A and B are shown apart, each in its own frame.
Chain A
Amino acid sequence: SQQGEEDPQALSIQEGENATMNCSYKTSINNLQWYRQNSGRGLVHLILIRSNEREKHSGRLRVTLDTSKKSSSLLITASRAADTASYFCATEQGAQKLVFGQGTRLTINP
């Protein structure tokens, strides 16, 4: 079963706008990770946020985590065409393996 559920399933925005993707999960976690997948390629790790952290930044990426609501969001600021990809959240629940969500397909229009 999928632990993480991403919302929306697909998002299309104009270049330069901000993109926000959400992830909800069902059980307690140790950490939550976000990955990007370009078409035809493997997943690439973007950012990891631990359960005791609320916010984390990496370049144009901002991730928040609300453990009381069992949810996380990924914000990409000032989007670029190269940001077009699918984005997945993955949760680590203490079994030392990740459970991935179904992903958000992001399209950046020029």
Chain B
Amino acid sequence: DADVTQTPRNRITKTGKRIMLECSQTKGHDRMYWYRQDPGLGLRLIYYSFDVKDINKGEISDGYSVSRQAQAKFSLSLESAIPNQTALYFCATSALGWQPQHFGDGTRLSIL
């Protein structure tokens, strides 16, 4: 079983819809991250959480929100999806902020 699991793996939806992407981990890490990857670009940080009570905005948080339901679960929501949010979304975890991150296999999101 994967250490970091993202659901769904693929999603196609329409402009204006609310979407939730889910991430769960079995690594026991406190730190969790949401990234967005666009073609030809690196990863950009959307939100990150150092523990259940700590949520921080990343580089590109506008249009997104998150919820840290438990140490193992971190969800990303798009309240009203727009086409330029079409991208590959990754969840990651780490034991400490400076240590290597462990990634899920991503959610490919298409907004029509």
Contact = CB atoms under 8 A, between A and B. Distances in A.
A102 B100 CA distance: 18
A100 interface: yes
B70 interface: no
B87 to A, nearest CB: 14
Interface residues of B, number: 27
A96 B96 contact: yes
Nearest to B108: A40
A100 B92 CA distance: 13
A100 B42 CA distance: 6
Interface stretch (B43-51, B61-69, B77-85): B43-51
B97 A97 contact: yes
B101 interface: yes
B98 A30 contact: yes
Interface in A57-110: 88, 92, 95-103
B105 interface: yes
A102 B103 contact: no
Interface residues of A, number: 24
A15 B93 CA distance: 33
18 contacts: A2-B42, A4-B42, A40-B105, A41-B105, A41-B106, A42-B103, A42-B104, A42-B106, A43-B43, A43-B90, A48-B100, A96-B50, A97-B33, A97-B58, A97-B97, A100-B43, A100-B44, A103-B42
Interface of A: 1-2, 4, 30-31, 33, 40-45, 48, 88, 92, 95-103
Given A42-B90, A48-B99, A96-B50, 16 more contacts: A2-B41, A40-B105, A43-B43, A43-B101, A44-B103, A45-B102, A48-B100, A96-B98, A97-B58, A97-B97, A98-B45, A100-B35, A100-B42, A101-B42, A102-B42, A103-B42
